[in-house]
């Protein structure tokens, strides 16, 4: 089967790029996979791409920035979408041309505006799967109205949490569209897991207000006062850097709290710590939580919408504290700092419980969804009607039958397309 991902800019840094690369790498073990990047601004991606995954860009900003069509506003990409100002008549045109010419069996959009292009412009033979990496409630009302109309033409829509999938089912009427939670995956670590002995708390992510690193630093001040040999290391870059640096100095924490800059990949830094920390007001999923747990770190996190509560088992592999509660964050961190045995026990639990976010289980779910979508489109049925029967067949007959179904579907699609040319 050929699978194509349509992404905003594969050459940048961010959670959507990371999880797209992760899923593409895992799928490339069994399928032909490509990533189509709408924009490109540099020669090579920041992240390492598996050589089995092809990558191409539609608009190279190094050459096309002053293109006449790129100076005109987009007409297809929705105006209410966060990235709208980066799109243009040129991106509208190039995306439409790419979709019209695709030989993929499945095309996966990775943000709302691209899902709209996919829903409206993909050829009839293509299975259309939209991914939502941000919760429905995070979209402005005008965008939700646009999505409600366009998403009815998708075959399936995936969210990164069960809570958000439920929100889409409850608040949008998408007849025949499969709405399913498909969590982000994190590759199997290549380094030995942390052993819980390092006196280091690790946090990572963009230095932006919603991540509340200010609250985390303030909470850690009380920990450092009681345990001055412990450190907090914060990895990332962003607009909050100078303000956070000033806060560290004002609190006298220059020997305990360090802004480490960006680190790619983060695995080598996670394993140097013993506790992960997340103080966000909002997390659509919580990629860094999974990354930390896969490296053997229990994570202390705010119980913010939507992801942390679906990832962390409070008191087992980490701690969940109320959003914005500095004292609760400080108390939870201190609890793990003081108790070596509990910290190590939670470390072992984090390693075990995070296995569900390994590529294997996530890819198996993604493959099942795509197989059912291909089967449904071939038969002229809605994907939602396929679920029970096809899933039972796939499970009972195992991977071999699934692979045969994939191959047959791909051959059939290619034969149909050949006859249409």
Domains of the chain by start residue, with CATH: 2-185 (3.40.50.2000), 200-357 (3.40.50.2000), 386-421 (no CATH)
Half-sphere exposure (Cβ direction) of 78: Cα atoms closer than 13 Å:
26
Three-state secondary structure of 46-106: CCCCCCCEEEEEEEEHHHHCCCHHHHCECCCCCCCCCCHHHCEHHHHHHHHHHHHHCCCCE
| Distance of alpha carbon 154 from alpha carbon 161, whole angstroms | 19
DSSP 161: S
Strand order in the sheet with 231-235: 257-261, 231-235, 200-204, 275-278, 299-302, 318-321
Residues 322, 302 contacting (CB under 8 angstroms): yes
Do residues 127 and 377 lie in contact, with contact meaning Cβ atoms separated by under 8 Å?
Answer: yes
Q: Is the pLDDT of residue 418 over 90?
A: no
pLDDT at 398 over 60: no
- Calpha distance 115→193 (Å, rounded): 38
Q: Are 193 and 296 within 8 A, CB to CB?
A: yes
Peptide bond into 306 cis (omega under 30): yes
Would you say the C-alpha torsion 15, 20, 23, 28 has a positive or negative sign?
A: negative
3-state secondary structure labels for all residues of 255-296: CCEEEEECCCCCHHHHCCCCEEEECCCCECCCHHHHHHHHCC
Q: How far is CA 171 from the centre of its chain?
A: 22
What is the pLDDT at residue 235? Answer: 97
Residue 290's pLDDT is 96
**Model confidence at 42: pLDDT above 70:** yes
Which residue in this structure is represented by tokens 């087992």? 316
Express as a percent the part of the chain with pLDDT over 70: 91
322 three-class SS: coil
Task: For residue range 255-278, list pLDDT tens digits in order.
Answer: 999 999 999 889 999 999 999 999
Say what the pLDDT of residue 385 is: 55
**pTM value?**
0.82
Distance (Å, whole) CA 262 – CA 98:
34
pLDDT band at 81 (very low <50, low <70, confident <90, very high): very high
Nearest Cα residue to 99 out of 76, 82, 72, 78: 76
Please state, in angstroms and rounded to a whole number, the distance separating the CA atoms of residues 142 and 78. Answer: 9
CA distances 257 to 230, 263, 295, Å, are 9, 17, 21
Instruction: Say which residues have a Cβ less than 8 Å from residue 30's Cβ, sequence separation at least 6.
Output: 367, 403, 406
């Amino acid at each position: 089967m050929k699978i194509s991902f349509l992404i905003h800019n594969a050459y940048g840094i961010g959670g959507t790029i990371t999880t797209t690369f992760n899923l593409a790498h895992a799928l490339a073990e069994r399928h032909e996979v490509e990533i189509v990047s709408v924009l490109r601004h540099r020669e090579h991606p920041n992240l390492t791409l598996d050589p089995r995954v092809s990558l191409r860009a539609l608009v190279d900003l190094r050459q096309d920035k002053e293109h006449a069509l790129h100076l005109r506003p987009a007409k297809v990409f929705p105006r209410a979408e966060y990235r709208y100002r980066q799109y243009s008549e040129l991106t509208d045109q190039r995306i439409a041309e790419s979709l019209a010419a695709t030989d993929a069996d499945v095309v996966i959009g990775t943000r709302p505006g691209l899902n709209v292009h996919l829903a409206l412009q993909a050829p009839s033979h293509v299975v259309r799967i939209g991914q939502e990496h941000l919760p429905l409630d995070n979209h402005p009302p005008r965008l939700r109205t646009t999505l409600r109309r366009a998403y009815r033409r998708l075959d399936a829509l995936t969210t990164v949490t069960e809570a958000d999938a439920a929100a889409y089912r409850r608040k949008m009427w998408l007849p025949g569209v499969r709405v399913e939670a498909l969590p982000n995956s994190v590759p199997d670590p290549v380094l030995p897991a942390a052993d819980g002995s390092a006196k280091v708390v690790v946090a990572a992510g963009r230095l932006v207000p919603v991540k509340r690193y200010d609250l985390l630093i303030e909470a850690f001040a009380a920990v450092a006062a009681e345990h001055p040999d412990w450190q907090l290391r914060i990895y990332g870059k962003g607009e909050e850097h100078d303000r956070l640096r000033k806060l560290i100095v004002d609190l006298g924490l220059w020997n305990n709290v360090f802004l480490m800059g960006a680190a790619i990949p983060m695995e080598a830094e996670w394993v140097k710590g013993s506790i992960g920390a997340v103080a966000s007001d909002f997390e659509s999923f919580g990629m860094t939580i999974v990354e930390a747990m896969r490296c053997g770190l229990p994570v202390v996190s705010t119980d913010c919408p939507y992801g942390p509560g679906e990832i962390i088992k409070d008191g087992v592999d980490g701690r969940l504290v109320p959003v914005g509660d500095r004292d609760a964050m400080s108390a939870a961190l201190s609890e793990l700092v003081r108790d070596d045995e509990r910290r190590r026990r939670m470390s072992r639990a984090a390693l075990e419980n995070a296995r569900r976010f390994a590529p294997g289980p996530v890819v198996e779910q993604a493959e099942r969804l795509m197989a059912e979508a291909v089967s449904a489109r071939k038969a002229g049925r809605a994907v939602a009607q396929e679920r029970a029967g096809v899933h039972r067949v796939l499970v009972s007959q195992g991977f071999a039958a699934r692979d045969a179904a994939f191959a047959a579907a791909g051959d059939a699609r290619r034969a149909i397309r050949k006859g249409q040319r």
